[in-house]
A and B are shown apart, each in its own frame.
Chain A
Amino acid sequence: MWHVGIDVGGTFTDLFALNGETEETVSAKVLTTAEDRSIGVLEALDSANIRPADIRVLVHGTTTATNALVERSYPPIAMITTEGFRDVIEIGRQRRQHLFDLRQKRPEPMVARRLRFTLACRLAASGEDIRPFDAEEAAGAARRIKQLGIESAAICFINSYLDSSHETQMRDILRAHHPDCHIALSCETVKKFREHGRFSTTVIRAALLPVMTRYFSRLRDGLKSNGFAGSLLAIKSNGGMMGVDLAIERPEELVESGPAGGVAYARYLSQTTEFSNIIHTDMGGTTFDASIVDQGEGLITHDYQLEWEIPISIPMLDIRSVGAGGGSIAWIDSGGSLRVGPQSAGSDPGPACYGLGGEAATVTDANFVLGRLDGTLGGKMTLDAEASMRAVTNIGEQLGLAPLETAEAIILITCESMAQAIKLLLTDRGRDPRDFVLASSGGAGPMHACFIARAMSIPRIIVPSHAGVASACGAISMDIRHDLEAFYYAPLTDADFAHLNRLYAGLESEGRNLLSLDGIGEDKMTVVRHAQMRYVGQLWEVLTPIRDGELSAAGAQEIADAFHAAHDAEHGVKSPTFPVELVSIGLTASGEFMRPASSAAPDSAAKAGETSTRSVYFSGLWHEIDIHAGEELQAGVTITGPAIIDYQHSETVLPPATHATIGADRNLIITLDETD
């Protein structure tokens, strides 16, 4: 039986599978089917010769949710909120992103203002019901939503983190009037105060409910009708997985579902290689993602924003994306300078060389013109050299540049924007690039890795053995993971420990219950507790680890000490004599799944095998270089650049002044030589 990982990206659908009995692995890459992405999933299985009936577990990462949000292509949604507060999601916290840039535009709110309805009911901060819920008024809003044919609604009342009753009453009335309407409640989506983050996350849940319900039902039906009877899991933004039934209810947790698989692969690498600090990058056809794996764990953010001032207030892997990929289109801006992306030719029509009608010069075309790309894309199609040349020449003529110069400029500009994205991430998270190795994945990643690393002063690169299908491969090395939270606001000295113990116990049983729904046995479950804490009087919290077992007033100092240490680690300062308080508590419940086994130790006597040669253009010169078949190379082999290592789903380009060694598990380790 197979364990299958599938990642549906903007351009390609990737598959990686491991046979639980024979330990055989197989991978596949097919074009994403934009109109119904579930078709591509079935095509990928077909291409890998895996019958749905032979699948035990299928782990699925998808960018469907993100695309729907970014393109605002979800059906119109309504919001029902407290009178006087319908603009919480429009006003935001009202910081501008670039203070000195006057001409920047604000992202459009997720719900049109005319579809934001209000009710007079109001809870005070004390929890007191100062204006009771009016069922008649609520019914009016429900009727209007039904009348407008709205498919999904977010219910978000001020102070509902204290008491869910107004929101649940509104839900019941809306459901009674409009049974087909999807409904998201803020008190269920984020169980914490700060209305902007809670409302925004709830609205995102509401926007995605119809989209992801449709998508997953179609996928499940497609698989089932082909004999699939295994478990279907979805990759979550926090780097874990959940069953598809839960994913349909909590689609806001799928926003980083695509790239999270790649981070899981980097995490796996950090546990199986000598590199514990990895900058994971993934370049596909449309986007470039960067994230950090520090000491074996992907960095999590609690301040994720989908777009400027559109927060999703749940813990998520800190993944930064820019619109740079193989399909990114080169164009000339109004000032006459060459730009690349973020517009992508996607998979249809795709780059000019695909011969599917694309005429724009893309990054893939530039690579092809420079000889860096195999003309058959690993045997998947025959690329049209003339079409690439025509597209690149056309752009070059507008700039007064020769085609080869133009192609090199396109690569340079793309690599620079990817390096910038990584720099921004490292800056925000206070990490030094020189403490890291750059891991390069994705179909287009290893072709550009050396150029990006050079722009960042990172001397070492690891190209994982399954770089071309990294997210799909990472998908089958993941755990099931649920992050759960509860609001508890009190100074530590006043804390009711019996109540705290009950809250933790409640979260823990909820976590264990969720895990067992996905078939995780008790012996495979891990629960780690934490709390959001701060000094009394402070206004921002620090995530503090909390130990297992019964908590009591006698152990309060231990909790305080853990907070002081966490504050010191996060901010470089602490005030051990000052009283501390709890704001919310939480835990991470994870369930261990099977992982691919490690294999193939390097052999220092290994030699490179047969090679072919090709002319490739670097820095103004043609070089006749060796093309190695990546799958044939033995661990231990060293290759000196310029050279190309050709894999089934990606190509690694080694420019001059580099050398590479095949390491354990056939990962490729590249070192950049000092150039001056």
Chain B
Amino acid sequence: MARTSRLRHEGKRTVKSKAKSKARPKSKAALDPITFSVILNRFNTIANEMTLTMEKTAWTSVIALARDFSCAIYDAKARQICMMDALPIHTNSLHVVLQEIARVFGDDIHDGDVIACNHAYSGNTHIGDFVTACPVFHKGKHMFWTVTKGHQLDVGAFVPSSVPAPAENIWQEGLQLPPIKFYDKGKRCDDVIRMYIANMRWQEWLNGDLMAQLGSIWNGRRRLVEFAEEYGNDEIERYSEGILDYADKRMSEEIRAMPDGDYDGVSWLDSNGKGGTNIQIGARVSIRGDKVHIDFSNSAPQVPSANNSSYGVMQAAAGIPILCSIDPTIPHNDGCLRHITADAPVGSVCNAAYPASTALATVGPGDTMQEAVWKALAHAVPERVLGGNGKDGNLPMLSGTDSRSGVDIEWGCLFFNGGPAGGATSKADGWPLIMTSAGMGGLKILSVELCELLYPMRIDRQEIAADSMGHGKYHGGPGVDVKMTPTSGAMLCELFGEGQSNPPFGAMNGTPGIGGGSYRENIRSGKRIYYSSKGRMVIEDGEFWAGISSGGGGYGDPLQRDPEAVLESLIGGFLSLKSTREVYGVVVDAKTMALNIEKTKALRKKLRAARKSKAITTPNVPGYATWVKKSLRSGDEYLIDAQ
């Protein structure tokens, strides 16, 4: 194997020069709609190319297969110009960390620089997210930033995980990188990069991912310089401003269409990471004219583990539900973001005070803050919200020693295949495996066949779990039933999940998901040890890991769901006969599987009459999950925040 220090991409840095500039004489005239559309699309194309470079050239499965990264373009003032299908929790807060990078380096920002940062107290989301920013200069002028944020497989924490749940402070989290130059005026800072890599596990993989990330921002820079060459700096700036104004105007119309008022929503974190359960997060959403403000004051103080939010995540989590409630064709850039403000007291679980750990910020606290905002929005714009998304559950960080080839190889993998599902909406059933509101379906699962080749594991099952979702006129996406057996000795499994005691909520008379959970089982004795959403598990030789993830929350009254669709779900095995009857009021003959329309009508009438009031969201109390309680058998154990 080549040594780490020799790994280096040779980025292309030449610029294709076009003979004829397409710039028109500078004028104050209105923007030409065709040029506008060409320029808008060109930004999208460049962000897309940055994304492809990152995905297709990365070394770790978390980047190359699961796609836990984002690429975006900012102007010289660190305002977002463009992002394409990137993870919401990243892109809605990248401006926060970029502004800090710009502030820290001030006048010391030059062509050829690359500035890195993973420091949550510098505006980053959490330590796992590694930011690389590249200033783009043209004709001596700083025009743009290309920025890529990638979730690293390792951060040098005290446990082999980039999301170390038990970390109590930033020193346990791993190597902290406040804004720091990796390239200075085109010169590689070998000493800094060596120091960075020296602190990481799986160094060759991490170095490969770093090369992919640099390739991504450099390809973005190359394209932007060509672009500026073609149109000229002034014209590009004029149209960039126009793109922000366009999004601003459309966003303004969207928010104005929402009724003014103050709306409250409350959700709970499963635990404080140290055994204390049901930590409150409350959001007040205030809509006034074309502005929305989200206030998280009604939330618990920070907790003594990594289950706290950073400032950056708080900003992003507040805004994502709003951006998902507007016309999806509005380009997401600073023009939208400027309509949303958010605040939380320093020292609260939503905005932890230095030096508290925020390593889980994007998933646990971030998703739960989003959930509180969604629940508040359900009172303002019920037709636009969704039943709750499953949070980060059954997505463990696995590691161990792979001896299959006769040589011991250390390996690690963020295993996404058991993740939870998405909530239903007023128009459609939820998607399976949406995997957190932070990603909103932007993450991908890993190919089973590829996993089994790459890592010492056998995936025995990866199947939809019946009755795991919230029910409704539209049901949540179903959860997934996964079983995995280590094939080369014991495997370490760091759980950093959320939402297993507090399941995804149901909206507008829809019901919640089941919450789900996971356990390890001794193959001989059949004894199971269940784990709460967070904890350290060692899957011993002779054991397997299994779990069921939560389905998403349902939307609308289950009694309004088309009985034929309910029947097909029953025959297909998505639903049990019991929920078909008791929740959906659909009567089916268990032997012939024939639908009885008359009896269904009568049963639905009866169930409807027994209904007391309309539930905008369910539940509104903590600890509502059912799966663990139902699954525990006598002799099984259940561990909360195991260490």
Q: Is the CB of A101 within 8 A of B10?
A: no
Q: Is the CB of B7 within 8 A of A103?
A: no
B442: chain A residues within 8 A (beta carbon) = 95-96, 99
* A657 CB → nearest B CB, Å: 14
B452: chain A residues within 8 A (beta carbon) = 124-125, 159
Chain A interface category by residue count: 35 or more
Q: Is the CB of A577 within 8 A of B6?
A: yes
A457: chain B residues within 8 A (beta carbon) = 34, 38
B508 within 8 A of A: no
Q: Is the CB of A539 within 8 A of B572?
A: no
* B279 CB → nearest A CB, Å: 27
Binary A-proximity of B1-18 (CB < 8 A = 1, otherwise 0): 110001111111000000
B205 within 8 A of A: yes
B219 within 8 A of A: yes
A158: chain B residues within 8 A (beta carbon) = 448-449
Residues of B4-58 contacting chain A, CB below 8 A: 6-12, 34, 38, 41, 44-45, 48-49, 52-53, 55-58
Q: Is the CB of B55 within 8 A of A91?
A: no
A159: chain B residues within 8 A (beta carbon) = 449, 452
Complexed CA–CA distance, A106 and B429 (Å): 8
Complexed CA–CA distance, A124 and B486 (Å): 12
Q: Is the CB of A573 within 8 A of B48?
A: no
Complexed CA–CA distance, A575 and B58 (Å): 12
Q: Is the CB of A194 within 8 A of B449?
A: yes
Complexed CA–CA distance, A105 and B458 (Å): 32
Q: Is the CB of A125 within 8 A of B45?
A: no
Stretch at the interface among A13-21, A81-89, A319-327: A81-89
Q: Is the CB of A537 within 8 A of B208?
A: yes
B201 within 8 A of A: no
Q: Is the CB of B48 within 8 A of A576?
A: no
Complexed CA–CA distance, A195 and B34 (Å): 43
Centre residue among B48, B88, B441, B452 by max chain A CB count within 10 A: B441
B61 within 8 A of A: yes
B64 within 8 A of A: yes
Q: Is the CB of B435 within 8 A of A94?
A: yes
Binary B-proximity of A518-562 (CB < 8 A = 1, otherwise 0): 000000000000000001111110100000000000000000000
B449: chain A residues within 8 A (beta carbon) = 125, 158-159, 161, 193-195
Q: Is the CB of A98 within 8 A of B328?
A: yes
* A14 CB → nearest B CB, Å: 33
A112: chain B residues within 8 A (beta carbon) = 568, 572
A99: chain B residues within 8 A (beta carbon) = 85-88, 440-442
B447 within 8 A of A: yes
A423 within 8 A of B: yes
Given contacts A96-B441, A158-B449, contact A575 B1 (CB under 8 A): no
| Contact of B573 (CB < 8 Å), options: A114, A125, A489, A540 | A114
A572: chain B residues within 8 A (beta carbon) = 11-12, 53, 215, 218-219, 222
* Closest partner residue, chain A, to B433 (CB atom): A94
Complexed CA–CA distance, A526 and B572 (Å): 49
Residues of B437-468 contacting chain A, CB below 8 A: 440-445, 447-450, 452-453, 458-464
Q: Is the CB of B444 within 8 A of A93?
A: yes
Given contacts A87-B463, A535-B208, contact A114 B571 (CB under 8 A): yes
Complexed CA–CA distance, A174 and B53 (Å): 45
* Closest partner residue, chain B, to A86 (CB atom): B463
A195: chain B residues within 8 A (beta carbon) = 447-449
A196 within 8 A of B: yes
Q: Is the CB of B432 within 8 A of A90?
A: yes
Q: Is the CB of B208 within 8 A of A100?
A: no
| Contact of A85 (CB < 8 Å), options: B34, B211, B432, B462 | B462
Complexed CA–CA distance, A193 and B452 (Å): 11
Chain B interface category by residue count: 35 or more
A427: chain B residues within 8 A (beta carbon) = 41, 44-45, 48
B426 within 8 A of A: yes
Residues of A181-225 contacting chain B, CB below 8 A: 193-196
Secondary structure class of chain A's binding surface, majority of residues: loop
Secondary structure class of chain B's binding surface, majority of residues: mixed
Centre residue among A101, A194, A489, A570 by max chain B CB count within 10 A: A101
A609 within 8 A of B: no
A124: chain B residues within 8 A (beta carbon) = 452, 458, 487
| Contact of B328 (CB < 8 Å), options: A100, A126, A161 | A100
Complexed CA–CA distance, A124 and B61 (Å): 20
Q: Is the CB of A91 within 8 A of B432?
A: yes
B59 within 8 A of A: yes
Centre residue among B45, B57, B442, B487 by max chain A CB count within 10 A: B57
Residues of A117-167 contacting chain B, CB below 8 A: 124-126, 130, 158-159, 161
Given contacts A87-B463, A99-B85, A125-B453, contact A539 B65 (CB under 8 A): yes
Complexed CA–CA distance, A540 and B86 (Å): 19
Complexed CA–CA distance, A572 and B15 (Å): 12
Centre residue among A100, A112, A454 by max chain B CB count within 10 A: A100
Given contacts A95-B67, A572-B215, contact A577 B2 (CB under 8 A): yes
Q: Is the CB of A573 within 8 A of B211?
A: yes
B249: chain A residues within 8 A (beta carbon) = none
B45: chain A residues within 8 A (beta carbon) = 426-427, 430
Complexed CA–CA distance, A601 and B247 (Å): 52
B52: chain A residues within 8 A (beta carbon) = 571
Complexed CA–CA distance, A574 and B56 (Å): 12
Complexed CA–CA distance, A579 and B3 (Å): 11
Given contacts A113-B573, A114-B572, A194-B449, contact A573 B215 (CB under 8 A): yes
Binary A-proximity of B366-409 (CB < 8 A = 1, otherwise 0): 00000000000000000010100000000000000000100000
| Contact of A537 (CB < 8 Å), options: B59, B458, B571 | B59
Complexed CA–CA distance, A159 and B324 (Å): 39
A104 within 8 A of B: yes
B215: chain A residues within 8 A (beta carbon) = 571-573
* B213 CB → nearest A CB, Å: 11
Given contacts A91-B480, A99-B441, A423-B41, contact A113 B574 (CB under 8 A): yes
Q: Is the CB of B441 within 8 A of A95?
A: yes
B204 within 8 A of A: yes
B461: chain A residues within 8 A (beta carbon) = 83-85
Complexed CA–CA distance, A543 and B609 (Å): 64
Complexed CA–CA distance, A467 and B45 (Å): 31
* B261 CB → nearest A CB, Å: 22
* B252 CB → nearest A CB, Å: 18
Q: Is the CB of B427 within 8 A of A430?
A: no
Centre residue among B9, B67, B453, B461 by max chain A CB count within 10 A: B9
* Closest partner residue, chain B, to A537 (CB atom): B59
A100: chain B residues within 8 A (beta carbon) = 88, 323-324, 328, 332, 440
Q: Is the CB of B56 within 8 A of A571?
A: yes
Complexed CA–CA distance, A578 and B6 (Å): 8
Complexed CA–CA distance, A615 and B459 (Å): 70
Q: Is the CB of A575 within 8 A of B434?
A: no
Complexed CA–CA distance, A457 and B39 (Å): 12
Complexed CA–CA distance, A430 and B460 (Å): 40
A610 within 8 A of B: no
A70 within 8 A of B: no
Complexed CA–CA distance, A158 and B451 (Å): 12
Residues of B172-206 contacting chain A, CB below 8 A: 204-205
* B495 CB → nearest A CB, Å: 21
Return the 4 tightest CB-CB contacts between A and B, nearest first.
A96-B441, A84-B461, A113-B572, A125-B452
Known: A91-B432, A455-B34. 9 other contacts (CB 8 A): A84-B463, A96-B434, A98-B328, A100-B328, A103-B426, A106-B431, A195-B449, A427-B44, A578-B7
Q: Which chain B residues have a beta carbon within 8 Å of chain A's beta carbons?
A: 1-2, 6-12, 34, 38, 41, 44-45, 48-49, 52-53, 55-59, 61, 64-65, 67, 85-88, 204-205, 208, 211, 215, 218-219, 222, 323-324, 328, 332, 384, 386, 404, 422, 425-429, 431-435, 440-445, 447-450, 452-453, 458-464, 480, 483, 487, 568, 571-574
12 A–B pairs (Cβ distance < 8 Å), ordered by A: A85-B462, A91-B432, A95-B441, A95-B444, A96-B431, A100-B323, A106-B428, A106-B429, A124-B458, A575-B10, A579-B1, A579-B2
